[in-house]
């Protein structure tokens, strides 16, 4: 820690299946804290199995926040997360507890600690136009369009990442500037959503330490992902998605239904893949998610991020993290 002041919050970040939840529950046994979920999927009600949502027993042991706050028809943004998380950190601190931010949505961590770039708000007309083009041409073709106007953003996106391609094209068409332009603006032009001033936000999370769980063995993580997907199937993932699919107001274009595992299950229920193919696709998609999360983690470098890497596959990972946290407190 660069400062002797006790942190108001501590972050635990890592790819899916890296042991974040187990570590956070262990921390909660030793330190008075409340957990703030940093996960874009856990916000949705009725999506419990495929998101590996903390159990009722775990949520009863320690207060959890930003879980089950939205219907799957709704959307949630990094800006909303910054506003909610900053408020919750202050409330948890006022109760004399540590705020423990836990999850794998690295964009949320980045937005909270570095701030949000001011950029054009969502434009329904432009979005509808992009959707119409994508329906005719396909998202890989839209990705190719993006590469012509914003090569930096296109390079970090999959050609099938419809949600992020759509947003990047929308920003460009609304402002005439690429999304990467806003991401690269200097810190003086950054703003925190929902905060009275940038300085007050900076003060509230200054030097927030991040425990970054990063596996040294890809095979170790892949095995854990496979095991967890199998556990989800046994717990009733297909039935969970079948119930969601039965709702007339849910469809695959919603952010909630694009979550890893849900889209693959939906396609299987539509007869687009066999049960064996669906399982392979679900595991493969989860591995790709983990790969993207690790890439984000590695990009979180000083001085913006007070990051402390712990090998997630080390037998002493939990103990190492606990020792580190206790040294900060």
Cα torsion for 43, 44, 45, 51, to the nearest 10°? Answer: -90
Domain match, 144 and 207 both: no
The verdict on residue 199 lying in a domain is: yes
Report the first-to-last Cα separation within the chain, whole angstroms.
11
What are the CB-based long-range contacts (under 8 Å, 24+) for 140-147? Answer: 142/166, 142/169, 145/169, 146/172
Same domain, 22 and 147: no
Q: What is the CATH number of the domain that holds 279?
A: 1.10.287.890
Question: Is the domain of 160 the same as that of 44?
Answer: no
Task: Please tell me whether residues 208 and 228 are part of one structural domain.
Answer: no
- Considering the domain architecture, whether residues 273 and 299 belong to the same structural domain is answered as no
DSSP string, 72-119: TTS---HHHHHHHHHHHHHHHHHTT-EEEEEES-HHHHHHHHH-EEP-
**In this structure, what token pair is assigned to residue 168?**
């990047």
Q: What is the mean pLDDT of the chain?
A: 89
Residues 223 and 303 in one domain: no
pLDDT at 124 over 80: no
Instruction: List the single range of 180-194, 212-226, 272-286 with lowest mean pLDDT.
Output: 180-194
52 lies in the same domain as 72: yes
Whether residues 232 and 249 fall in one domain: yes
- Which ranges constitute the DSSP H helices of 31-74? 56-61
> Which letter does DSSP use for residue 188 in this model?
G
Map residue 319 onto helix, strand or coil: helix
Whether 269 is in a domain gets the answer yes
Whether residues 245 and 268 share a domain: the answer is yes
Mean pLDDT (whole number) for 151-155: 91
Q: For residue range 155-176, what is the model confidence (pLDDT) as tens digits? A: 989 999 998 899 899 888 887 8
Evaluate whether residue 173 is within a structural domain: yes
Q: pLDDT > 70: what percent of the chain?
A: 89
* 50 occurs within a structural domain: yes
In the chain, the number of structural domains is 3
Domain of residue 130 covers 124-183
**Domain check: are 193 and 236 in the same one?**
no
Q: Are residues 108 and 224 in the same domain?
A: no
Residue 115 has what pLDDT? 75
């Amino acid at each position: 820690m660069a400062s002797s002041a006790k942190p108001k919050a501590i972050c635990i970040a890592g790819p899916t299946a890296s042991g974040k939840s187990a570590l956070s529950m262990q921390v909660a046994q030793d330190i008075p804290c409340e957990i703030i979920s940093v996960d874009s999927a856990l916000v949705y009600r009725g999506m419990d199995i495929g998101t590996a949502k903390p159990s009722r027993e775990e949520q009863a042991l320690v207060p959890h926040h930003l879980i089950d706050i939205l219907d799957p028809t709704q959307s949630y943004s990094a800006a909303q997360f910054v506003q909610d998380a900053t408020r919750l950190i202050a409330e948890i601190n006022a109760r004399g507890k540590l705020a423990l931010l836990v999850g794998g949505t690295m964009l949320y961590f980045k937005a909270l600690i570095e701030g949000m770039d001011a950029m054009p708000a969502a434009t329904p007309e432009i979005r509808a136009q992009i959707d119409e083009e994508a329906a005719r041409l396909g998202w890989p073709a839209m990705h190719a369009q993006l590469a012509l106007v914003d090569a930096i953003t296109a390079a970090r996106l999959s050609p099938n990442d419809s949600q992020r391609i759509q947003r990047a094209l929308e920003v460009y068409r609304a402002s005439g500037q690429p999304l990467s332009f806003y991401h690269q603006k200097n810190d003086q032009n950054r703003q925190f959503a929902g905060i009275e001033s940038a300085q007050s936000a900076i003060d509230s999370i200054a030097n927030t330490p991040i425990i970054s769980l990063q596996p040294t063995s890809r095979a170790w993580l892949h095995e854990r992902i496979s095991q967890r997907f199998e556990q989800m199937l046994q717990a009733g993932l297909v039935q969970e998605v079948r119930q969601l699919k039965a709702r007339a107001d849910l469809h695959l274009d919603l952010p909630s239904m694009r979550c890893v595992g849900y889209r693959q299950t939906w396609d299987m229920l539509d007869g687009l893949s066999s049960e064996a193919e669906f399982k392979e696709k679900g595991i493969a998609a989860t591995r790709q998610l983990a790969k993207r999360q690790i890439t984000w983690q590695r990009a979180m470098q000083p001085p913006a991020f007070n990051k402390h890497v712990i090998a997630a596959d080390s037998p002493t990972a939990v103990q190492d993290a606990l020792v580190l946290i206790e040294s900060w407190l």
